Amino acid sequence: MKNILIFSIVALLLSACGGGSSSVNSTENNGASGITADKGNTSMVLNQQYIVSRGDQIFKESDLTKVRITHSDGNTRSTVELIEGSATLRKN
């Protein structure tokens, strides 16, 4: 299930960005990365929108995490919204 969710997010990012580099990277956080809510990291809140740019990363903190990504063509920034689970946003 985790692999399907990650694949779906990556595929969505690639298709939304015209097949180029993705604006946001999504990565699992199984404790190995040591991601915490400190300077540069934000614990995402359900149904709150965050503006992200190329290089920003989202670390999911549960298997049920779902994120909605909105990207407009010609814009270098996207909007992400946590719709289920928990995640941390790391701004680049």
pTM score of the predicted model: 0.58
CB atoms within 10 A of CB 50: 19
Q: Which two tokens stand for residue 65?
A: 């995490």
- Banded pLDDT at 74 (limits 50, 70, 90): confident
Q: Where are the alpha helices (DSSP H) in the chain?
A: 2-16
Of residues 27 and 7, the one with the higher pLDDT is 7
12-59 pLDDT, tens digit per residue, is 666 555 444 444 555 544 433 344 445 679 999 999 999 998 889 999
Distance CA 44, CA 59 (A): 10
Order of strands, sheet of 77-84, starting from the edge strand that comes earlier in the sequence? 49-53, 77-84, 66-71
Among residues 11, 25, 5, the alpha carbon closest in space to that of 84 is found at 5
- Banded pLDDT at 11 (limits 50, 70, 90): low
- Banded pLDDT at 80 (limits 50, 70, 90): very high
Which among 7-16, 30-39, 63-72 has the top mean pLDDT?
63-72
